[in-house]
Amino acid sequence: MSSHKWVVARAPNCGFGDQLLTLLGAFVYAKKTERNLLIDWRGNNYCSERDTNWFNNIFTIESSKENRIFFSHPGIEHSLLGPPYFPNKWTQEKISSSDLPPGSAAENAALSALVESGHDRPEPTVVFDARIPMRTLDKQLLRPFLENLHFNTSISEQARTFIRSDVGEERFIAIHLRHGNGENIGARCIYWLDPLDTFRQLIRNETYGSFHDQRLVAKSRFQDGMPDSLTSLRSDTRSEHVLYKKIKLIVEKIRSQNEERVPVVLFTDSDQIHERLRNYVPDTVRYRKTGFSSGQGPLHNKNLESDQRESLASDMIVEAAALKKCSYLIYFPSNFSILPRLTLPSSNQFFLRPTAANRLVHRSFNAIASRIKRHK
């Protein structure tokens, strides 16, 4: 390993898509500043072995002095990642540890600004452990990285087996919907709840503060540290059915542009979504992963035993590998679909919007909340 300047990509304690965004942001910054990139996914919340670099368990990518991409492993000398560090919360001890120190919104904003500007910090080591907004990523710089980033052989084969046996075609329409199955999903509740419950849920979110406030995590059933979502109590809402109708129209539009019928595959974290969507798109299939009963949470339930957590994480990764192979993507705000969104033509991507009433509720709530904060 060179003693040159480094960018270290750690995996924040959040969803898989957000972890990928952190990595992609780190790669873009490394390219812009001509630094080495060290991918260090130790301590990942999806892996029970804290000292294992989970990235190497699921991905393959060429690592060499030429492309300046390296991987953390047990024998690595983290002392070569010299101080001082940015952000300044990092120390030699923390760099060597698999545990992540707490972050802050200010750090997240600073790292995002670095990706966007390409400003080369004077510190020899810059550590990325925050979710980077997709808008800051330079897709041109990312292209060679994404072309060389592959799920490992076992994961890819499981994804291909699912597509061959359940989908039957290499070309398919992917629908990705994040429901939470009882876990709080933040402002995305506006896709599932009707206006009054949307307002109630937004109040809950604001009251409980940051998604990743560690003081709240211990009190929650789920990793995000938030109270259960009203989506676990309300089902079959008008807003939900409007969403399915929009999906049906998009599917019909795509199929009308193709001579052969294009299969539809749903990627979601809730069985009930599949059942209801089939009322509108009857031939929808989904990857048969291990799941929970209604209201019992998504894949990353923090209270699972390690073997069950890893089994569910394995399902999730195979699902991500299958999702990456889609020809068309229908999606709403969730970074789990980040790989096809970065590689598919924009004409093959369809972003779903919530109802006009819920968008109005959301905007109004944000305006009220901002006004209250300014006067505190």
Please determine, for residue 350, whether its predicted confidence score (pLDDT) is greater than 80: yes
Please determine, for residue 58, whether its predicted confidence score (pLDDT) is greater than 70: yes
272 — pLDDT class (breaks 50, 70, 90): confident
Q: What is the pLDDT of residues 181-192, one digit of tens each?
A: 667 788 888 999
Same fold: 6-151 with 153-362? yes
Q: What is the pLDDT of residues 28-50, one digit of tens each?
A: 999 999 999 999 999 888 888 88
Higher pLDDT, 19 or 223: 19
Identify the weakest region by mean pLDDT among 59-63, 161-165, 253-257, 319-323: 59-63
What sign does the CA torsion over 136, 30, 334, 206 have? negative
82 — pLDDT class (breaks 50, 70, 90): confident
* Mean pLDDT, rounded, for 100-108: 88
223 — pLDDT class (breaks 50, 70, 90): low
Instruction: For the chain, give every domain's residue range.
Output: 6-151, 153-362
Q: Calculate the average pLDDT of the chain.
A: 85
What sign does the CA torsion over 327, 286, 222, 209 have? positive
Q: Which of 57-66, 296-305, 353-362 has the highest mean pLDDT?
A: 353-362
Query: What does pTM read for this prediction?
Result: 0.87
CATH class for the domain made up of 6-151:
alpha beta
Q: Which fold has domain 153-362?
A: Rossmann fold (3.40.50)
